[in-house]
Structure 1
Amino acid sequence: MGSKPHMQQPDDQTILQLIRKEQTRDMGYRQLLQRYQQRVYQVIRRMVLIHEDADDLTQNTFVKAFKNIDKFQENSTLFTWLYRIATNETLTFLEKKKKRYFFSIDDHQQKLESYLDQPGMPTSEEIEHKLEKALLTLPEKQRLVFHLKYQEELTYEQMADITQTSVGALKASYHHAVKKIEESLKRE
């Protein structure tokens, strides 16, 4: 008997086929989670910073994805579709959090900055720390665009699909974000 071939991660089509059959649905959902959960968590974590919030939002994203998988039309990748759900969940969460705690933008930014100043934050390098602080000065949508372009290295076309925004608007938003970050880093 020969050795077993190396198990590859299933592609989107395979995952969707498993999910669409009742007898393999649970396996399909497990594979979807296994393939994308960490990436979705990272996007959310960079936006909300706090692990518990990111963890909850990641769960919400996948619950919403599972409930709406039949509405997925395959005109984008599963990755793009999940990111769209994750970013919408995250932006909604941040808006609700600000309203619930009656934060002004500055108070909210200050609270997150103080969180970054606590010992034990995952980013230990000084430049990463300064970049994280600078990112907090951006409006949430600009921060999202910067994250998707700079840290996730997505194309403008992928970002447009995720955010349902035009490529031109995304380029302008990214340009403004970079300028604000540069100004913020010069002040440090």
Structure 2
Amino acid sequence: MSADEKILELLADENRRQEAFGLILSTYKERLYYLVRKILIDHDDTDDVLQEVFIKVWKNLGSYRGDSQLYTWLYRIATNESLSFIRRRKKAQNISMDENPELMNLFESNSKAGHISGDDIAIALQRAVLQLPEKQRIVFNLKYFEYLSYEEISEITSTTVGGLKANYHAAKKRIEEILGGD
């Protein structure tokens, strides 16, 4: 029995919801951390948002009916919480996160501190991804790094598949330009 099947079985019994939540945490915490981290970059911000994600998951466990796959439901919550965090920060700072050089500085300091590992190519790719507009960055991360289908991303972001394909294509083209590809 897969972890998702076990979680769904536990969710069916109201008395075992806490056990289901524990299994969700152990199964998805790391994947959701890296999803949120790719959106927010900063470790502390990611931890804060991840706490909010799991609070929201706990509060809404009773309303999850299995209409979508469990990870799609969790990714939607994590993505929405990340975007809400960005919007709150934009409003507080009154500047666009897409044009914020602080993101690049944060990335640079994190890579030097050893928080982001990988070779020079992976680091160059991450730098290029950081330069994408918010929507393209999210679509690119979900498609390229998380291997989600356009249909799954559509469920998570509430965006049409056609819109996602256009955003992904534009993101790839921009990354190629940044990295000096043809």
What's the % identity of the aligned pairs? 42
State yes or no: 1:14 paired with 2:6: yes
Q: Which one has a larger percent helix, Structure 1 or Structure 2?
A: 2
> Which secondary structure state, in structure 1, belongs to the residue aligned with residue 180 of structure 2?
helix
State yes or no: 1:73 paired with 2:65: yes
Q: Where does residue 31 of structure 1 map in the other structure? A: 23
Match of 2:165 among 152, 171, 177: 171
1:48-92 per-residue CA deviation (whole Å, 9 max, x = no partner) reads 111111111111111101111222231111100000000010011
Q: Distance in 2 between matches of 1:107 and 1:178?
A: 19
Q: Which runs of 4+ in 1 moved over 6 A?
A: none
The one-letter code of the counterpart of 2:124 is K
Q: Distance in 1 between matches of 2:26 and 2:75?
A: 15
1:145-184 aligned at under 5 Å gives the runs 145-184=139-178
Q: Unaligned 5+ residue runs, structure 1?
A: 1-7
Question: 1:26 Cα shift?
Answer: 1.8
Question: 1:160 Cα shift?
Answer: 1.3
Whether the 8 Å CA contact 2:76–2:156 is kept in 1: the answer is yes
Q: Unaligned 5+ residue runs, structure 2?
A: none
Match of 1:91 among 67, 83, 89: 83
Question: 1:19 Cα shift?
Answer: 3.3
Using the TM superposition, name which of 134-143 and 171-180 deviates more.
134-143
1:37-56 aligned at under 5 Å gives the runs 37-56=29-48
Q: 1:107 to 1:178 in 2, by over 3 A?
A: closer
Q: Distance in 2 between matches of 1:162 and 1:41?
A: 16
Question: 1:11 Cα shift?
Answer: 3.2
Q: Where does residue 114 of structure 1 map in the other structure? A: 105
Q: 1:145 to 1:106 in 2, by over 3 A?
A: closer
Give the total of aligned pairs: 178
1:4-53 per-residue CA deviation (whole Å, 9 max, x = no partner) reads xxxx6x53242133234343222111111111111111100011111111
Whether the 8 Å CA contact 1:145–1:170 is kept in 2: the answer is yes
Q: Distance in 1 between matches of 2:108 and 2:121?
A: 13
Q: Distance in 2 between matches of 1:124 and 1:159?
A: 26
**Taking structure 1 as the reference length, what is the TM-score of the superposition?**
0.87
Q: Distance in 2 between matches of 1:65 and 1:33?
A: 10
> Which secondary structure state, in structure 2, belongs to the residue aligned with residue 165 of structure 1?
coil
